Amino acid sequence: MELTKKELIENFVSTEVTEEEAPALIKLGEEMIPFCVTHGGVGLAAPQIGTFKRMFVWQIKESDASEGYQIVFNPKYYKNGKQVRMLEGCLTYSQEHYFTERWKGITAVFYTFYEGKFYKVSKQISGIRAVIFQHECDHLDGKTIAVVGEKLDDEKNKAFVEDFRRKAEIRQGLPEIPSNTAIQPKASIGGAGSASVEFSPNK
């Protein structure tokens, strides 16, 4: 399994998953999850690995293992609350970060597949989980962070990446590496869907 070139997923709308297709795509999702975990991901959409169907895997609870992830089919969401300005990354755009506008809270609607049938799920989510869900849904409509966002300039991006790496090493118990970081993220997560995320007030 490998990541698809960005040019092939930008502005490409994926098609709905049918119940007949779901069993094969469950197997694909089961392969996507360890791929996502291995790359430090919190989400991975099917188009990112060359399957243009409306599905993704995402982290639903804090865990370094595959058990913390879920396979989602035909997702959509409804806005709830205010928008926030975000700084997001994506495995499709390695080491790049973009400012985006996200809804702070959403009603997520999607399907899971169990014993040959789709089961509809509707839930209220907010914060980082809401951002991840919106990010992955956008992939299914070809709206990558590069398409809808504003790229962070190279100097600040380099500082952000270094700061993120330094904090990850600290979390893993490694010696702290001095940094001249210009950006201090208030909240950050690793991931294919959102390699790093910063909350900041909406302008």
- Backbone φ, ψ for residue 75 (5° rounding): -80, 155
Show the tokens assigned to 121.
């799920």
Mean pLDDT of 139-144: 96
| Residue whose tokens read 């959102």 | 194
Show the tokens assigned to 114.
């169990």
Q: How many residues does the chain have?
A: 203
198 pLDDT above the threshold of 80: no
In order of their start, the domains of the chain are 6-200 (3.90.45.10)
CA 159 from chain centre, in angstroms, equals: 22
98 pLDDT above the threshold of 50: yes
Q: Tell how strand 197-200 and strand 93-114 pair up.
A: unpaired
192 pLDDT above the threshold of 50: no
Q: Which of these, 200, 96, 99, lies nearest to 157 by C-alpha position?
A: 96
Mean pLDDT of 180-196: 36
Q: Label residue 165 by pLDDT band (50, 70, 90).
A: low
Dihedral of CA atoms 188, 156, 138, 202 in degrees, nearest 10, equals: 80
Q: pLDDT tens, 52-69? A: 999 999 998 766 556 789
Looking at residue 39, what is its pLDDT? 87
Mean pLDDT of 31-60: 93
Show the tokens assigned to 171.
């979390």
Q: Which of these, 78, 16, 88, lies nearest to 46 by C-alpha position?
A: 16
User: Could you confirm whether 162 is annotated as catalytic?
Assistant: no
Mean pLDDT of 9-23: 96
19 pLDDT above the threshold of 80: yes
From the list 21, 31, 62, 136, the catalytic residue is 136
Looking at residue 179, what is its pLDDT? 37
| Residue whose tokens read 């869907």 | 193
Q: Which amino acid is at 120?
A: K
pTM over the 0.95 mark: no
21 pLDDT above the threshold of 90: yes
Distance CA 160, CA 181 (A): 6
Q: Which of these, 164, 145, 129, lies nearest to 40 by C-alpha position?
A: 164
Q: Label residue 115 by pLDDT band (50, 70, 90).
A: confident
Task: Kindly give, in sequence order, each residue whose CB lies less than 8 Å from that of residue 93, ignoring residues fewer than 6 positions away.
Answer: 6, 144, 145, 146
Q: Label residue 186 by pLDDT band (50, 70, 90).
A: very low
Distance CA 189, CA 164 (A): 9
User: Measuring CA to CA, how many Å separate 21 from each of 83, 86, 110?
Assistant: 35, 35, 16
Looking at residue 95, what is its pLDDT? 82
